[in-house]
Amino acid sequence: MGIESEAEEQQMTEETGKLLAQFETEKSGLIPILQSVQNTFGYLPEAAMRQVADHLGMTDVQIYGVASFYNHFRFTPLGRHPVQMCMGTACHMVGGGLVLEALERSLDIQVGGITEDKEFSLDRVACVGCCGLAPVMMIGDKIYPKMTSTKVDEAMVNLKMEMEEKSD
Ligand code: FES
């Protein structure tokens, strides 16, 4: 059983079935299928991976092995506020890795994970197109320029305060 509820899993099964009907059963179609599943759900749900395996005549382990080879596939849902750390060359060169580590500590999750309250997920991404502002962090659509590890906690506290204000 995955992290989805039974009703969610059933809905995913139906949607994945419709999606798979558009693809041949050739193993070479695996990557496009996985991309399509992730575009639909925002991640690769366990149940959908099993269906993909059945569709292509492969094992779950083989599917997982291929998917986990690529950084851009994720196995947990996105949080309500997806946090993305750019790890393109420009951001990497000016300390993006340290900011990413600070984010892991601050959110208490690893890259590819989601917080228990499902508010935040954390991913590393390739260049987001504003290298002059490196290192760049994004939360949802908002860009946080010239990030440092010390700015991470401040950004998270401010965001949580904004969230509380909105919920009042
Ligand atoms: S490398 Fe980070 S914005 Fe281009």
> Which structural domain range is residue 126 located in?
81-167
pLDDT at 4: 66
What is the structure's pLDDT at 22? 95
pLDDT of residue 148: 96
Q: Residue 10 has what pLDDT?
A: 87
Q: What is the mean pLDDT of each run of 10 residues along the chain (168 residues)?
A: 71 94 95 95 92 96 93 88 96 97 96 92 94 96 95 92 83
Residue nearest to atom 3 of ligand 1 (CA): 131
Residue 48 lies in a domain: yes
Ligand 1 pocket, 143 CB below 6 A? no
Q: Residues 116-119: contacts with CB within 8 Å, 24+ apart?
A: 118/77, 118/79, 118/80, 119/79, 119/80, 119/81, 119/163
> CA 27 to CA 70: how far, in whole Å?
17
Residue 63 domain-assigned?
Answer: yes
- Asked if 91 and 163 sit in the same domain, the reply is yes
Take residue 166 and report the two structure tokens written for it: 């909105």
**Tokens 């790890």 found at:** 87
Residues whose CB falls within 8 Å of the CB of residue 56, separated by 6 or more in sequence, listed in order: 25, 26, 27, 29, 30, 33, 63
Number of domains into which the chain is organized: 2
Let me know if residue 142 belongs to a domain.
yes
Is the model's pTM score more than 0.85?
no
Ligand 1 centre distance from Cα of residue 132 (Å) = 8
149 and 100 in a common domain: yes
